[in-house]
Amino acid sequence: MRSKVSTANSIATILLLGRLFISSASAAHDHQAPAAGNAERQGSAERAIQQESAGRGRTWTSAPLIAPAGRPGERNSANMVPVNLAGVGLQVYGADATQSPKNVPLEDGRWRFAPEPSAKGGHYWMQAAEVRGAETRTATTAWSFGTQGKSPAAMLAQAKGSLDIVPLRIPEHGGFREGTAWEFGVRYEGQPLPGAVLHLHTENGTRTRVVADAEGVAKVLFPRDFDPASFDKVAGADRTRRGFVLMTELEPEGRKFVTAFNHFYYPDTMRGRNLWAGAGLFVIGMLCAAPLLRHRERNNA
């Protein structure tokens, strides 16, 4: 139902070509380089952030996180570390929902995961849960390898824990962007959880909350909280990113579940672009061709 509405909205959007001349609000999407997956496009400056992010995570949120900690240039494997989570194993779900998740042990404070050669790459779902008495703290994240794999639609629909926060769609072209809204489903025991409260914490310091609708879907608007001074000096705004986490809690029958989904978000692409300059150059190109419309060719060659 939701996807039909989404499709109808997309078609309506297409018809509103007047939007072409409205600048940033509608254009706040990523699209730096459109190849197979996120890892393919990570610049070296961006990769260097990964190693620091684990340490930083402890300071900007108390939510359990699965943070990337790979070395720069890592392409075919994922090195992850737990943050605000005691030493537990990592479960990795592949795009093929019929397969059982792979258990990755914590070794030297890290989880090291590489997809099977037959599975190539694509999208994976990572989950680590720590049980403290009656409380279960679960950290989740999505990871994408550069090599194209299967569609993650079935993987996202699959119930993985008691309390799940799942993006309805994993971004493939650069990630979540500030100023854009993304839908996240909240499920308990595989069923939608209407009215669930999601807390959004960002590495840039934003603290906000979103309430899931009757279908258990929360529409999260990523805040415009990037300081231009924080942009990567070499790679620019397009390759700068910060972490965010969405967290929710549920206390059924004397038990307590705390579940978090963490990932990265990026600055609005239009921060590094000038619409009017681009449109002006386009018009200059049109004007250069305009004589072709007025003057008849005399010599035909």
Partner 1 sequence: MLETLRKVFPTVSRLRFTVQMAMFFLMVWGSNVVGHYAADKISTALPALSCAYDKQHGSYCVLIPLQHQMHHRIGAAVVKAQQVTMQVVLPILLTMATFLAFFFVVGKAFCGWICPLGTVQELLNKVGRRFNRPLHRLQDGNLKKVRPAKWVMLLGLIFALPILAGVGIAPHGLSNPYCDVCPSRIVTTLLTADVEEIALKTGDSTRMLLNALGNIVAGFVVVAALAIRQPFCRICPMLSFNSLFQRLSPMRLSKVKHESCEKCGVCTQACPMDIPEIAREHGRKAYHEDCTLCGRCAEYCPQDGVIKLKWGPFALFSSSREYYKGRVKGELPDGTVKPVKFVKRGEANA
The span from the CA of 164 to the CA of 142, in Å, is 13
Please count the residues of this chain forming the interface with partner 1, following the rule CB under 8 A: 68
Q: Does 16 bind partner 1 (CB under 8 A)?
A: yes
Write down the least CB distance from residue 92 to partner 1, Å. Answer: 18
Interface with partner 1 (CB under 8 A), residue from 166, 237, 246, 247: 237
Q: Does 273 bind partner 1 (CB under 8 A)?
A: yes
Q: Does 72 bind partner 1 (CB under 8 A)?
A: no
Q: Does 36 bind partner 1 (CB under 8 A)?
A: yes
- Among 67, 194, 68, 172, smallest CA distance to 122 is for 172
Look up residue 228 and give its two tokens.
């231009």
The span from the CA of 96 to the CA of 85, in Å, is 27
Q: Does 270 bind partner 1 (CB under 8 A)?
A: yes
DSSP 288: H
DSSP bridge partners of 143: 124
Interface with partner 1 (CB under 8 A), residue from 87, 190, 228, 278: 278
How open is the CA angle 271-287-20, to the nearest 5 degrees? 40
Number of other CB atoms surrounding residue 18 within 10 Å: 7
Per CB under 8 A, the segment of 108-116, 151-159, 205-213, 247-255 that binds partner 1 is 151-159
Q: Does 279 bind partner 1 (CB under 8 A)?
A: yes
Interface with partner 1 (CB under 8 A), residue from 236, 249, 250, 256: 236
Residue 134 backbone dihedrals phi, psi, to 5 degrees: -90, 0
Residues with Cβ within 8 Å of 215's Cβ and at least 6 positions away in sequence, in order, are 1, 2, 192, 194
Q: Does 77 bind partner 1 (CB under 8 A)?
A: no
Q: Does 22 bind partner 1 (CB under 8 A)?
A: yes
Helix (H) or strand (E) holding 287: helix 275-289
| Interaction site with partner 1 (CB under 8 A) | 7, 10-11, 13-14, 16-17, 19-23, 26-27, 29, 31, 33-37, 40, 43, 76, 95, 122-123, 147-153, 169-170, 172-173, 236-238, 269-270, 272-275, 277-279, 281-290, 292-293, 295-298, 300-301
